[in-house]
Every structure is written in structure tokens, then in C-alpha cells.
Amino acid sequence: MTRSAPAPPAAPAELAGPAGPAATSRAVIDLDALAHNARVLADVAGVPWMAVVKADAYGHGLGPVALTCLRAGATWLGVAQLAEALHLRGLLDAAGVARPLPGRGPDPGHPRLLCWLAPVLSPERAAVPGSPLRAALEADLDLSVSTTGQLAAVAAAGAAGRAARPGAPPARIHLKVDTGMSRAGAVASELPALADAARGAQEAGDVEVVGLWSHLSRADEPASGSTEEHLSRFRAAEQVVREAGLSPRVRHLAATGGLLWHPAARLDLVRAGIGLYGLSPDPGVATADELGLRPVMRLEAPLTQVKRVPAGQAVSYGGTWTAPTGRWLGLVPLGYADGLPRAASSAGPVAVNGVRTSVVGRVCMDQVVIDLGPDDGGGAPAAAGDLAVLWGDPTAAGADPATPTAQDWAQACGTIGYEIVTRLGARVPRVARGGGLDGSGDAGPVRGAPSAPVAAVEGGAEHQEGR
């Protein structure tokens, strides 16, 4: 589906002040890879798609990622918390991205923003000028509602906003149903009351029910039967909502795993999250490479010191690793304060000068030690200032082929790729590179999954996202 619409403006060269020469590490964000992944997922989905950019775009830097996704064809942007939704609206306004047009569906030039976690407020507090929900509606956000209490608060904010601004539109809400995840959403026994209350609030002009949605708990297990159960419950919930007199026009259920492996769950809209960033929802089903996805983040830091230690020398806190021979060690200025898991102790892979090595000893708050190899009398294999790459894309042009991936780190730490990239801390500058095109003009088919042009953001430019 293609529709003529104004393209959102290019990302500015800088969204905030640069990290400056004092920074000792950085995460390089490849916007070309991001645009490639967006096209891959959009081709699979075959329906409009939302770019999920919560948690600072999964740690990748909110502004450049959101703008690149819009230029890649996203018509919706999704975040979890209201504070980040308001921040995102501010970034889009500053970049010149137009607000949604009344009476028209979203397009990449006029995207809609969905937020699904808001502060708990009474209707009285929600109606007060300057309340978080009043701010949400003034920012033209769509809000998720799971309970009658949430609905009452949003409706009160909507009514107060209309009283203060005659002609203001009602609050746009997406009713969320619990289809089996037992997280947010109305369960079957609560849904009729929620639907009836939503119809009443809509008839009063305080809200507009535009969406019905849920989330899949086991989409990364295609053979489990769980997604089919979720979909059945969703269909039943849709019937309840329609019998209450509501007609939500945007139904969405599938995130990355659902859009890849469950065609029936794609409905009217899909929510592309982890796949945008070049990670598979489950490498056991299909790896990122098998899906045609490219890693977007490269985490790197120059070595700050190289030293020789003798055989038997303990390394880092607790002496959990001891040099088996005379060894060369390198010091990398990244630690658990930057988001490296302590589980990476004596495990996290690192590439230096074309060689794959690993962290040795415990991960410290601000630094880790890596093994550069045995002292064979030939001198140090690396020097202070040489680049250590913790994760990235080993196949990217000019990349060190020894580069580990974020998934390699996840495997080494006994966790998932989501955690590795999203926990990266705020003191690591994000430097966004690329123009949103990979140069081919064609993402190619998705391997392992059934099967709009992207304009350049600023080719070759770097974008610094303030944090």
C-alpha cells in the first residue's frame, strides 16, 4: 500500500551538543542498516507499520532513529512511557515533522504517536491544567487504555481540554485486551464494562476509540500454538467491542516475531521493534543474518592502556582470572556503569586489530580488561589508542571481520540481544551515521519469512543524539 504524502524532513546534523573529544567510548548507529531493516520488515508485513522506538530507540538514540524510520515509511511511532512520548513529540516538532491531520489517517509526513504507559491519575487530577494526560492530548498522542479507571482519567482530561480549547479533538484511545500474556490489558470478564464505558465517553465527545490491540507472549515460538490462542481471544474481544457499539479501525497484535512468523496476526498494523535494530526475536528460529537483517549499533572504545603481566598474575576484582602465561592485556574504558553486564566477566567477546578475544576477570564499573594474547617475545600486539570493538556488524564495509555481534554478547552472558543494546548507558555517546539508504535501493527478500522507497536523511552525515 502506497499513498502520496509529504516526506518528513531530514534529520539535522546535530540534535544536541556533540559528545566532544573528552568521550572515551561511543556507539556508532548505522542509519543505512536501520533503513534496510525497515524495508525488509515492511516487505514482509504488507500492511502499515509502527516503528517501536521506546527506551531511547532500544538504546540507539531516539531522534535519528525515529526520523529515519519515518523516511523508511513508518506511519506510526510507538513508545512505552508518557515521558518519552512527550520528548519524542518535542524532537519531531523541532525537526519540522507535521502533526497528524484531522480526519485523515497517518502517513510518514504526519505520523501518529502511541504511548501505552501513563501515570496513574484520578479523573480530578487528570483534568487539572498541566496534568500529564492533558499534556499528552495537547501533544496529539494516542493513548492505550486497559481499565475503566484509566479510561475515566483520559476522558476527564479530554473533557477538560475541550472546555479549555473549544474545537479541540477528543482523546484518541486504543483499548488494550489481555489475550494471554497476563500483563497489561483487560481480561475477558472486564472487557464488556470497559467497552460500555468507552462507548459512553465517546458519545460524550471526550474520547475517540480508534484502536484495539494486544501483545503476543510466544510469537518467537511458531509451533507452540500460543499465537493462535492469542488471535482467537483477540477476535472474541473484537466482537465484544463491536457489540458495545464501537468500531476501532486500527487493530494491531504483532510485533517483530508476529509479523515475521504469524501472517494471520498482522491485521491492520504491525509494530516493528527489535528487528529494526538488526536483531532476531529468536535466533533459534532464524538468525538475524538468515532474516536479512543488519546490526545497527557498533560499540567501540580505544584501548587506554596496554601492559604485560607475568604468568600467575590475577586480573581484576576477586582474582577470578589468572594469566596462564606471560600475557599482554588491554584496558577498555567501558564497564557496568555503561551497561555492560557483569555476566560478561571472563566471557564478553571483543575484537582488536582483526583478532577476536574476550574480557578477562570481572567487569568493573568503568572498565574491563581484555586478553591480547601471550607474550611471545615479539612485542605488544596492540597499543593504547587501538580500537576495541565490543559488538557491531562484522560484514559491514570496512568492519573488522572479527567483530562480535550483540547476539554474541547475549549468548556469552546468558541473556537476550534486547537486553544487551537497551541497557547501554547514557554516558556512551550515540553517533548516528548514514543517510537512510544502503545504496542498493532494494532490501531483497527476507529469508526465513514469507514475503517504499527511502529518501536520504543526510548522506554521509553524522547525527549526535542528546541524552
What is the arithmetic mean of pLDDT over 348-360?
98
Q: What is the pLDDT of residue 102?
A: 82
Instruction: Summarize pLDDT for 161-216 with one digit per residue, the tens.
Output: 999 999 899 999 999 999 999 999 999 999 999 999 999 999 999 999 999 999 99
54 is catalytic: yes
Q: What is the pLDDT of residue 19?
A: 57
Instruction: Summarize pLDDT for 392-448 with one digit per residue, the tens.
Output: 999 999 999 999 999 999 999 999 999 999 999 999 999 999 975 343 333 332 233
Cell of 354: 582483526
Catalytic residue among 58, 176, 307, 317: 317
* pLDDT band, residue 128 (cuts 50/70/90): very high
Catalytic residue among 54, 58, 176, 336: 54
Residue 9: is its pLDDT beyond 70?
no
Residue 138: is its pLDDT beyond 90?
yes
**φ and ψ at 14, to 5 degrees?**
-140, 130
Q: Would you tell me how many other CB atoms lie within 10 Å of the CB of residue 395?
A: 12
Mode of pairing for the β-strands spanning 462-464 and 112-117: unpaired
Q: What is the pLDDT of residue 373?
A: 97
Which of left, alpha, beta for 261 (phi over 0: left; psi -120 to 50: alpha)? alpha
277 is catalytic: no
Mean pLDDT lowest among 14-23, 94-103, 132-141, 293-302 = 14-23
Q: Is 455 exposed, middle or buried (0-12, 13-18, 19+ CB in 10 A)?
A: middle
Burial 355-394 (b: 16+ CB within 10 A, else e): ebbbbbbbbbeebbbbbbbebeeeebbbeeeeebbbbbbb
* pLDDT band, residue 149 (cuts 50/70/90): very high
DSSP letter for each residue of 384-411: TTPEEEEES-TTSTT--TT---HHHHHH
Q: What is the pLDDT of residue 90?
A: 97
Distances in whole angstroms, Cα of residue 324 to Cα of each of 16, 302, 358, 383: 47, 25, 15, 21
* pLDDT band, residue 22 (cuts 50/70/90): confident
Are the C-beta atoms of residues 134 and 171 closer than 8 Å to each other?
A: no
Domains in the chain, start-ordered, CATH in brackets? 31-277 (3.20.20.10), 297-431 (2.40.37.10)
Distance CA 299, CA 323 (A): 26
Residue 339: is its pLDDT beyond 70?
yes
Q: Residue 375 contacts by C-beta under 8 Å, 6 or more apart in sequence? A: 308, 325, 326, 327, 328
